[in-house]
Amino acid sequence: MAPRILVAGFLHETNTFAATPADYANFENGEGFPRLHRGAEVAELADVNIAAGGFWRAIRDWDAEPVPVLWCAASPSAPVTDRAFERICGEITAACRAERPDAVYLDLHGAMVTASHEDGDGEVLRRVRAEVGPDVPIVVSLDLHANMSPAMFAAADAMVAYRTYPHVDMAETGRRAAALLRRLLDGGTLAGHHLRLPFLIPINSGSTLLEPAGEIYRSLDAVPDDEAVLTFAAGFPAADVPDCGPVVFGYGPEPAAVRRAVERLRDLVAAREADFALDVMDAGEALDAAAAAVARGAAPVVVADTQDNPGAGGDARTTGLLRALLERDHPRSVLAAMWDPDVVAAAVRAGTGARVEVEFAGSGVPGDAPLRGVFEVAALTDGRVRFDGPMMHGNELAVGPSCLLRSGNVAVVVNSRKAQIMDRNQLRAAGIAPEEQDIVVVKSSVHFRGDFQPMAGRVLVAVAPGPMAADPTALPWTRLPAGRRTGPCGPPAG
């Protein structure tokens, strides 16, 4: 009889220092991810570059019956509300109870914290395991920034995470998860081993387009999957929970071989600790460096507004980079994208071509003051975007009514819903050709690099006051275990 494989996805990367929680409506919309898909709709994600899409494509040729439940994700933020967690997790566990599957595939993030559970992913896995029993294989795909917990390792038979940042290999990770599940369904066994590293890694420093991350992740590909399927989960360094931080792990048929491979990987990461040090500029320095690069013929220069990245818990509301852009008024400058439905509503009321006085309220973080100004309403759009770049290729994004505002040489994209900038089409949809700009400021940290770096003469990372500290040593940690360093070669916690 063909095995019945339950398929579900529930992803959230939680910044416990952020202000805005994730409620059910955030998962319904997706906020940069695909919207919530339920039941048969999950098959529509097969051609989207997410892990569940890669898994779905991989099992289409199997003699198996997929049992799709739901797939959803929301922008990184403060902890997930109990209402959202219980509703979504409840649907997954109810399906496990009703369907009695022969196997379970879960697409999780690995760094979810909820109002009541500091290990949200571990709680999902614990509940699923309780429903299906000890003999049903559970395989999980994860984000590269997973904060791995003992509960996750106890409940899952095998797990694997992305190997690229920007995460352009999401679908490939789903296919790798499918291969692990295939081994288990064919009667094979998988031994696992994991080791924790004692320091946190700034998210900007972990891009696999930079070193040392590039070298470390390339080393994973050098190990044959039939020996050990390895993962370096770099951790999400803005979750004040005991399991925050990097973990290396792997699964394979021979316990001794898996252990050796994981130990070699641990040693490689540990040896490069100092090379993960942060390399950033303040807002003014970054824009001055951008202008100098443009003068040398390096346009466009792309500047990451990293401390307001909606992909790490920011709300796309800070004004520091926008203020600095307006002060310099460099030709062909654009910032994308502010999240402010009130500003959009004012632009809609005024109409295209009108001049409108608006106030961007800022984030409330010290040093991030409100910004009031008069702008021309250059364009109004419905906020619908399809991603053509490598990051979540095929994703259909809906950020609600949006506008393009102009003041002098500076253009500002403003959305009614929050979304990290990952794809050039997010600017094109607002009427901006990013390749024709001199300076492009994006509310992002690393994911923009997948589509923007190939066109950029230079990429810079700027820090202006915002809710997502680029340097984890600046955060007020209270829950890290003693000895865990809050940055590369930094002081230990406790």
pLDDT in tens, 339-383: 999 999 999 999 999 999 999 999 999 999 999 999 999 999 999
Query: Model's pTM, two decimal places?
Result: 0.94
> Contact 396/420 with Cβ under 8 angstroms?
no
Rounded Cα distance between 28 and 102, Å, is 28
pLDDT along the chain (494 residues), means of 10: 96 96 97 95 97 97 96 96 98 98 98 98 98 98 98 98 98 98 97 98 96 97 94 98 98 98 98 95 97 98 97 95 98 98 98 98 95 98 96 93 98 97 97 98 97 97 95 96 91 73
> Contact 80/12 with Cβ under 8 angstroms?
yes
- How would you label 215-252 residue by residue, b for 16+ Cβ within 10 Å and e otherwise? ebbebbeebebeebbbbbbbbbbbbbbebbbbbbbbbb
Terminal C-alpha separation, the chain: 55
* Dihedral sign (CA 138, 143, 144, 150): negative
Rounded Cα distance between 320 and 331, Å, is 19
Amino acid (1-letter code) at residue 388: D
Token pair, residue 299, equals 């346009």
pLDDT, position 272: 97
In terms of Cα–Cα distance, which of 90, 111, 93, 91 is closest to 101? 93
pLDDT, position 491: 73
- Give the dihedral of Cα atoms 331, 336, 337, 342; nearest 10 deg: 20
What one-character DSSP code corresponds to residue 492? B
- Report the 10 Å Cβ neighbour count for 350: 18
Phi, psi of 468 (to 5 degrees): -110, 95
Give the position of tokens 């998860």. 177
> Which residue intervals of 8-81 are DSSP H helices?
24-29, 51-59
> Contact 166/391 with Cβ under 8 angstroms?
yes
Angle CA 469–473–474, to nearest 5: 50
> Contact 306/280 with Cβ under 8 angstroms?
yes
> Contact 221/163 with Cβ under 8 angstroms?
yes
Rounded Cα distance between 151 and 162, Å, is 20
> Contact 124/108 with Cβ under 8 angstroms?
yes
What one-character DSSP code corresponds to residue 238? T
CA 196 remoteness from chain centre: 21
Cα dist from 244 to 220, 240, 406, 447, 478, whole Å: 22, 7, 42, 21, 12
Burial of 155 (0-12, 13-18, 19+ CB in 10 A): buried
Rounded Cα distance between 490 and 343, Å, is 41
DSSP H helix total and E strand total for the chain:
13, 22
Token pair, residue 22, equals 């994730």
pLDDT tens string 119-136: 999 999 999 999 999 999
Strands 333-339 and 410-415: parallel
Rounded Cα distance between 10 and 20, Å, is 19
